[in-house]
Every structure is written in structure tokens, then in C-alpha cells.
Amino acid sequence: MIRRIWTIMRKEFIEIWRDPRSLGFVLSMPVLMLMLYGYGISSDVKRVPLVVYDRDGTPAARELLRRFTSTEYFLVSAWVDSLRELRLAIDRGDARVGLMIPEDFSQNLGADRPATIQFVVDGSDSNTASIAIGNIASISKSTELAPRGLRPGIFIRPKTENPVPIELRTWVWYNPELKSTNFLVPGLTAVILMMLAALLTSLTVAREWERGTMESLIASPLRPHELMIGKILPYVVIGLVDVGLILLVGVFWFRVPLRGGLVLLTTSSMIFLLGSLGIGLFISAATRSVQVAFQLSLLTTMLPALLLSGFFYPIENMPMLLQAITYAIPARYFLVVIRGIFLKGVGLAVLWKELVFLSLFAALTLIASSAKFKKRLE
């Protein structure tokens, strides 16, 4: 039995090794995706183009503007002379935020009256808009402005007669800089593992059907479970190599903190990997065509892992029906686990529920696909 499993494994490795395209795909995809998501889809909103309509034109107004442009969050993209032009700049997409400084700005400031400035924010990209508004608020509130008599543009009017002054101080834990790569990199591990494992296993079995080699295997004394184990193990190894790659790039390039233990990280990655491999085997038991296997695995693993796992979009914001569906998606649980290990450094005591679910899921898919596989052969 060990001999047969080993024979299958060795063959799989030779096949992977001799197929430079798939080998390149397997090794470069995690790094490529990390770069793509780490840089391209970073949700940190920086260097937002700003269009300025300065009706005041005094040094005080320029000082105010400097406060915004000296941060890396805003970049002046245009100066305009009318509200119409400001609107046009935003319509065209030349700017996402417009700043209008009224003509009585410096007068009011000098007279110690509230000086108001107006921001116009392009809300068509709600995510960028809300982050930009947050940045505007925090810059306006910054202490340096107070001695100069500037008031923040956003007021909270207390409703009680005797207002108790409340100062809001936020203390962000775990990811104090709110760096989105810290959040994305662990999440990517889930997406990559899920996709890669399901895709590669379903392809390798479908290929045996397409080339007719499966028939030779069925006519041999090889047992179905030996074939399955022999097919799965090489991809467990590759999956773990990919986890290693993601870790290296994530920790050393993107400086994502790894606070938890490596052993727990590896073990839980393996459990998750087995579940994805099970999905891949299940797909390959359902089809004999490489192309169908390819499409099915992308559809059943990549899309849910990307969209319904909480990787991009917070689950709490989804409609109830979608929220209910996410409970059946293993990536959802793995995301909790891996973000917990990476960012919070928590251990089994906190994550055991998720790990139990992932183990159950892995066992279920492996048993189901094994049964389906056997039936298919008979």
C-alpha cells in the first residue's frame, strides 16, 4: 500500500516538475497575487486628488491648505476659479474631493469667529469617500490648528442642556496603523490555498480521465483510496510551500506582523488545505473533462473565498441571505483563524471552534469524494 501511494506521488511530482507552466503557476501565483492585492487593491486611500477653489487667497488660507497637502492623503490636482469648475473637475474624475475656502475665511479667523470651509466629496466610490471623510475629520481636529483658532468642520451638537464635554479618543489595537496589507495578506493565504488546492487536484484527476490513463489504473490492483492519497499528498506539500512563500513575502516585504505561533499556523493551514483538496477531488469525481474541472473549481472555490469569506467585504454588511450562506464557506472560518494568528497572536483557546469546523469540513469532503470516486469507478 505504501509502495503504491509512493509510486503515485513520485509520478505526480515528476509530472509537475516537467510541466514548467503549471510549476511556474504554482510558485508565482501566491507572490503575484500578494503583489497585486498588496499594492493594487490596498484600501488605504492615499494621494487623493483634491481640487481647490480658494476665494480668500490669504496666507491663512494657504496655511490651512498646507495642513491637508502636507499629509500623504491629499494631493492638489487642480486650482479653479468657480464652483462650476470645481464641480466639473469632480465630474470628470480629475479630483475626488473639492475644497472651497470662502472669501470671509481669514476675516472670520481674525475676528475669532467660527470660520467655515466646505468640502465636496465624490461619493460614487463610497469606500474611498468614507475613508477620505475620515481623513479630513482627523486632519481638521488635529491639535495644531486649535491655537490658530480653526474649528473643525464637523460639529457634534449635544442635545442635553448641560453638555458634558466628551473627548473621543480612539485606540486601535492589533493593527494600529490600520494598514490594509496587514489585513489582506493573511486573507490572501486563504484565497490562494483554497483555489490552488481545489484547482490542481481536480485538474490532475481529470487529466487521467482525458488521457485514458485512468482506465489502466482501474484495471490494476491499485485501490481507490491509494490513488486518492497519492494524488492529495503532493499538493499538500505544494500548498505548504505556498504558505511559506506567502509568509516570507508577507512578513519580510509587506512587514505584516506575525504574532502567533508558526506551528498553529502550519497545522491550521494544513487542515484548511485538506478541505480544499477534498473539494477538488469531489469535482474531479463529477467530471472527466479538464476544462469543466477548471471552471467548476474556480466557481466553487475562488469566488466564494474572495467574495463571501469576509476577505474583501465585511460579512456583517451583507444581506441576511448571503450572511447565512457564508456559514457554509470554510474560508470564512480560516480567515478568522489566520487573522487571529497573524495579527492578534491568539491561540487554540480562542480559535478552537473554527478549527473544529474546518476539520469537520475536511473530513466530510474527503469522505464524500472518496465515496463518489469509488462509485464512479464501478
Partner 1 sequence: MTPHPDPPPQRGEGIGNVVSNTGLAIEVNDLTKRFGRFLAVDRVSFQVRRGEVFGFLGPNGSGKSTTIRMLCGILIPTSGSGRVAGFDVARDPERVRENIGYMSQKFSLYEELTARENLDFFAGIYGLAESDSARRREEVLGLSGLTDYRNVLARELPGGLRQRLALASAILHRPSVLFLDEPTAGVDPISRRDFWELIRRMAAEGTAIFVTTHYMDEAEHCHSLAFIYQGRLIASGPPARLKGTLHGCLVEVEVPTDQLHAALGALRALPLAREVAMFGAALHTTLDSAEAIPALQETLRSRAIEARRVEAILPSLEDVFVSLVAQEAEQ
- Residues in contact with partner 1 by CB under 8 A are 3-4, 6-8, 10-11, 14-15, 18-19, 211-223, 377-378
Among residues 101, 103, 99, 104, which one has the least CA distance to residue 89?
Answer: 99
Helices 224-248/2-18 angle, 10° precision: 50
Residue 26: CB minimum distance to partner 1, A:
15
CB of 276 to partner 1, least distance (A): 24
d(CA 117, CA 77): 19
The conformation of residue 1, written as its DSSP 8-state character, comes to -
Q: What is the DSSP string of 71-114?
A: SSSEEEEEE-SSHHHHHHHHHHTS-SEEEEE-TTHHHHHHTTPP
Packing angle between helix 348-377 and helix 262-286, nearest 10 degrees? 20
In the complex with partner 1, the residue whose CB is nearer, 125 or 215, is: 215
User: Helices H, strands E: what count in the chain?
Assistant: 15, 4
Q: How far is the CB of 305 from partner 1 (least distance, A)?
A: 30
Choose between 167 and 378: whose C-beta lies nearer to partner 1: 378
Which are the contacts of 153, defined by CB distance < 8 A and separation ≥ 6? 116, 117, 118, 119, 136, 137, 140
DSSP state of 222: -
Q: How far is the CB of 21 from partner 1 (least distance, A)?
A: 12
How far apart are CB 224 and partner 1 at their closest, in Å?
11
Cell readout for 285 is 469525481
CA dihedral in degrees (103, 109, 112, 118; nearest 10)? Answer: 70
Closest contact distance (angstroms) between CB of 375 and partner 1 is 12
| Shortest Cβ 23–partner 1 spacing (Å) | 11
